[in-house]
């Protein structure tokens, strides 16, 4: 069973995903990290990031893996590097290329199928494209000020002014929601949860209620 957790950045996706996975005894996959690793692969070869062919060549020549919550590129952890400014800035462009997405999505599906088809998977298009048949689809949202404040608390954004964080969030939201391939949007059958005034445990409990509901409907 796949539990799909989608939404923009700063809504608490990663924390909620990890906590939910622990509670349910499942593994979790952070698909944003897989696009960030693809971005590192492209940056390392000095690929022209506006050219899909060169970016795709760099991405397919490297191996992206995810093990125990750690993202690996060619067998080495890039857990810190994926959080760098350069990667954060360029990941939207790299992840907008349709053939790059195809390649990365194939890796994501294989990762889940290697785990017997059960995992908590977080991203932007998990419920719409990667696992459209997932029985539980959650779309997390939060008010813009709350998202900016949460991002400001993240280590990677700690040195940025809040106004820069807001501008960066807006830029990424716009890029992720308006791209042609797999734009960020809720699946028709997703349950939207606004996390602005909720703590992690509350959000996790709400998702567990959806899981229980699907179970009662015989969908799990």
By the rule CB under 6 A, 28 interacts with ligand DC: no
Query: Nearest-CB residue to ligand DC?
Result: 32
Q: Site residues for ligand DC, window 99-118 (CB under 6 A)?
A: none
CB of 12 or CB of 135, closer to ligand DC: 12
Least distance CB 215 / ligand DC (angstroms): 26
What is the C-alpha to C-alpha distance for residues 177 and 134, in angstroms, rounded to an integer? 21
Per DSSP bridges, beta strands 136-141 and 2-6 are: parallel
Pick from 125, 127, 148, 207 the residue near ligand DC by CB under 6 A: 125
By the rule CB under 6 A, 135 interacts with ligand DC: no
Q: At what angle do helices 85-95 and 31-44 cross, to 10 degrees?
A: 100
Cα angle vertex 212, ends 107, 28, to 5°? 25
Candidate ranges 18-26, 27-35, 42-50, 145-153; the one touching ligand DC (CB under 6 A): 27-35
What is the C-alpha to C-alpha distance for residues 136 and 207, in angstroms, rounded to an integer? 9
Pick from 41, 119, 124, 137 the residue near ligand DC by CB under 6 A: 124
By the rule CB under 6 A, 172 interacts with ligand DC: yes
By the rule CB under 6 A, 7 interacts with ligand DC: no
Pick from 91, 148, 193, 211 the residue near ligand DC by CB under 6 A: 91
Measured CA to CA in angstroms, residue 51 lies from 42, 61, 101, 131, 185 at distances of 11, 16, 14, 28, 26
Pick from 95, 128, 190, 195 the residue near ligand DC by CB under 6 A: 95
Cα angle vertex 203, ends 199, 208, to 5°? 145
Least distance CB 205 / ligand DC (angstroms): 23
What is the C-alpha to C-alpha distance for residues 130 and 63, in angstroms, rounded to an integer? 19
Q: Site residues for ligand DC, window 48-67 (CB under 6 A)?
A: none
- Give the Cβ contact number of residue 23 at 10 Å: 15
Run of H or E including 137: strand 136-141
Pick from 35, 97, 131, 139 the residue near ligand DC by CB under 6 A: 35
Interacting residue ranges for ligand DC, rule: CB under 6 A: 9, 31-32, 35-36, 91-92, 95, 123-125, 172, 176
């Amino acid at each position: 069973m796949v539990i799909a957790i989608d939404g923009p950045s700063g809504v608490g996706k990663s924390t909620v995903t990890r906590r939910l996975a622990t509670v349910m005894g499942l593994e979790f996959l952070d698909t944003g990290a897989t696009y960030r690793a693809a971005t590192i692969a492209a940056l390392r070869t000095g690929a022209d990031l506006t050219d899909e062919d060169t970016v795709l060549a760099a991405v397919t020549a490297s191996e992206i893996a995810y093990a125990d919550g750690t993202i690996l590129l060619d067998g080495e952890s890039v857990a810190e590097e994926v959080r760098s400014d350069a990667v954060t800035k360029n990941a939207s462009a790299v992840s907008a290329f349709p053939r790059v997405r195809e390649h990365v999505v194939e890796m994501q599906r294989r990762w889940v199928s290697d785990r017997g088809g059960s995992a908590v998977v977080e991203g932007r298009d998990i419920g719409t494209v990667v696992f459209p048949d997932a029985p539980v689809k959650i779309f997390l949202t939060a008010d813009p000020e709350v998202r900016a404040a949460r991002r400001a608390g993240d280590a990677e954004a700690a040195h940025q002014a809040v106004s820069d964080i807001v501008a960066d969030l807006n830029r990424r939201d716009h890029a992720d929601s308006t791209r042609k391939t797999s734009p960020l949007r809720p699946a028709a059958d997703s349950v939207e949860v606004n996390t602005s005034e909720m703590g992690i445990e509350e959000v996790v409990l709400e998702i567990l209620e959806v899981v229980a509901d699907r179970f009662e409907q015989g969908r799990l």
